[in-house]
Amino acid sequence: MTSPPGGESRRRRPVAVPIAALAAVTGLGIIAAFGGFAETPEEPPKQLGPGATLDQGEFTTKFVESRTVVEPGLFGTADKRFLEVELQVTNKGEETTGVGSPSNGKTPGVFFANSLLKMTPAIKSDFGPSVSVPGASSVPGASTPSSQLHPGMPATVVLRYQLGDRQRPPKQVSYDVGTFEYSAGGVKSLERTWFLVKDDEGVNAPPKVVAQVTLPVRQAGAL
């Protein structure tokens, strides 16, 4: 930057650099004042109760109720007691999928029930709950349970947890619920399928909790 000698040289002082520096500092100051480049805190998961409906991307799910059920034992064996959670699930996707199962210990969950991320209090068992669409039949004993969720057909999905002999059923159960997005990746890495939305970018990031659903447990009279 050699300026020609003369009176005009003083007016052509290099002011661009200081002005740019000032602007940059001001900009940084404004950004810092508004909390810097840190991510904005994500909105906390929705708190839902019985009867609430949640959009899970691939599904629309209504959390109907939770109840205890007693099955009389056969041939003098002890009664079996279950905790049931009833949901109304509509597949919004393009093809039939399964009710799947929630993750249980090291076994990863699959399909719909994989979005039930965490249950509180957890009812532990070796294989997790049985998840099905119980075919409500007008004829007792003739029902045909299903594990499919067809597109556009609302289905009643029941999760059934067997309670131990001395186990008290909880007063209420709550679930951390995730949501699905249609994206590439997975086994055939390019095929687009439904995946649980993650909390972060990383491969091992935990699934994002979009809602916490709390259902009071309706106790069967015999308990």
**Phi, psi angle pair for 69, to nearest 5°:** -130, 140
Stretch in the footprint of another protein (CB under 8 A) among 1-9, 71-79, 105-113, 149-157 = 149-157
Q: What token pair was written down for 95?
A: 């093809």
Comparison of 90 and 214: residue with beta carbon closer to another protein: 90
CA 166/CA 47 separation, integer angstroms: 31
Q: Is there binding between residue 167 and another protein (CB under 8 A)? A: no
Q: Is there binding between residue 145 and another protein (CB under 8 A)? A: yes
Q: Is there binding between residue 144 and another protein (CB under 8 A)? A: yes
Comparison of 18 and 152: residue with beta carbon closer to another protein: 152
Residues 13, 28: contact at Cβ < 8 Å?
no
Report strand pairing: 180-184 vs 116-120. unpaired
CB of 92 to another protein, least distance (A): 10
CA 6/CA 171 separation, integer angstroms: 90
Q: Is there binding between residue 222 and another protein (CB under 8 A)? A: no
Residues 6+ apart with CB under 8 A from 186: 193, 195
Q: Is there binding between residue 125 and another protein (CB under 8 A)? A: no
CA 56/CA 80 separation, integer angstroms: 33
Site residues (CB under 8 A) for another protein, limited to 5-44: none
Q: Is there binding between residue 135 and another protein (CB under 8 A)? A: yes
From residue 190, give the alpha-carbon distance in Å to each of 112, 183, 184. Answer: 21, 9, 5
The count of chain residues that interact with another protein, using the rule CB under 8 A, is 27
Q: Is there binding between residue 142 and another protein (CB under 8 A)? A: yes
Site residues (CB under 8 A) for another protein, limited to 171-210: 184, 188, 190-192
**Phi, psi angle pair for 23, to nearest 5°:** -60, -45
Site residues (CB under 8 A) for another protein, limited to 67-86: none
Comparison of 96 and 120: residue with beta carbon closer to another protein: 96
Residues in contact with another protein by CB under 8 A are: 94-96, 135-139, 141-148, 150-155, 184, 188, 190-192
